[in-house]
């Protein structure tokens, strides 16, 4: 009876969970500093935006939660962020100033996450794995700049905010 139960358990596990092993061969691999993809000058205007990505960071980072890496970036510094999604926060600059979501628990290495930021004209929200992790009141129209939208690293390259790992399914 015990062997029969174990057999059934293994079959159910394979049927239900076997499809969750997603190969990373179609993911963007960012192995070292200055690994990124440039999408061009992709401006988003108005007072609404959603940015999302799936990612896995593979090496440690230092200096706190904002240094976990840039997932999707169109900025140079806090005064000119059209949009910025990181593993632990979201940031924008509008006609009413600079907004960053409050600190949350940091990511773990080699774990796959989905991150999303939503700005709806009244607040900036940061989601991880479908859960609202933090939000901040925010108003105004999104700041416009002439920087490149980059996946994995920001345009100015003044600081090492490169996400070292994998990124997939980026949506703006």
Distances (CA, A) of 93 to 6, 11, 33, 166, 169: 56, 51, 26, 27, 24
Cα distance between residue 11 and residue 17, in whole Å: 10
Bridge partners, 71 (sequence order): none
Cβ neighbours for 34, distance < 8 A, ≥ 6 positions apart: 153, 157, 162
Distances (CA, A) of 158 to 42, 67, 80: 21, 13, 15
Residue written as tokens 């703006």? 172
List the structure tokens of 85.
């999604």
CATH class held by domain 27-171: mainly beta
pTM of the model: 0.84
- Tell me what pLDDT residue 157 has: 72
CB atoms within 10 A of CB 2: 6
Distances (CA, A) of 13 to 18, 21, 111: 7, 12, 21
Considering only CA atoms, which of 152, 40, 133 is closest in space to residue 124?
Answer: 133
Distances (CA, A) of 130 to 110, 118, 126, 161, 167: 19, 12, 10, 24, 17
Per-residue confidence of the chain (172 residues) as pLDDT tens digits?
444 443 444 444 444 444 445 566 789 999 988 889 999 999 999 999 999 999 999 998 888 778 889 999 999 899 999 999 999 999 999 999 999 999 999 999 999 999 999 999 999 999 999 999 999 999 999 999 999 999 998 777 777 788 999 999 999 9
List the structure tokens of 47.
């007072």
Considering only CA atoms, which of 168, 158, 166 is closest in space to residue 75?
Answer: 158
């Amino acid at each position: 009876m015990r062997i029969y139960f174990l057999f059934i358990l293994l079959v159910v596990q394979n049927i239900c969970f076997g499809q969750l092993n997603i190969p990373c061969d179609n993911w963007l691999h960012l192995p070292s500093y200055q690994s990124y993809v440039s999408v061009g000058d992709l401006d988003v205007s108005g007072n609404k935006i959603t940015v999302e990505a799936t990612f896995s960071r593979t090496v440690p980072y230092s200096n706190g939660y904002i240094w976990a890496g840039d997932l999707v970036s169109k900025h140079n510094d806090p005064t000119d962020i059209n949009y910025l999604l990181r593993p632990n926060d979201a940031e924008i600059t509008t006609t009413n100033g600079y907004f960053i979501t409050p600190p949350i628990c940091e990511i773990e290495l080699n774990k796959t996450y989905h991150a999303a930021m939503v700005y709806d004209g009244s607040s900036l929200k940061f989601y991880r794995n479908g859960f609202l992790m933090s939000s901040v009141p925010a108003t105004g129209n999104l700041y416009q700049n002439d920087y490149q939208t980059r996946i994995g690293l920001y345009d100015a390259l003044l600081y090492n905010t490169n996400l070292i790992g994998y990124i997939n399914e980026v949506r703006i």
